[in-house]
Structure 1
Amino acid sequence: MARDIDDKKTKKALRKLRKAKSRAESEDGPGLTDWEKEFFEGVEERLETFGSAFNDPEKGNLDSALSARQTHIVREIDKKARKKNGGMKRSSFKPKLKSDSKTKTNNFSPRGRDINDDIETNINAPKMPPQPSSPTLYLASTHTEENKRATNDAPSTSETAKPLPFKVIQGGKAQS
Structure 2
Amino acid sequence: MSDYDKQQWQAEQTARDAVLDKQREREQKTRERSARNAQRKLERLHRTLKDKGEISEFEDEFAESVTERLDKFGSAFQDREKGRPGDALSFAQKRVVAAMNRKVKDLKKNPQTEGKGQAEELDRPRFEHSKPRSSFKSKTPKFTPRVRQLDEGFDEVAVPADITAPDPEPPRPPVGKPFLRIVSDNS
What TM-score bracket applies, with the shorter chain setting the length? 0.3 to 0.5
- Provide the TM-score with structure 1 as the length reference: 0.46
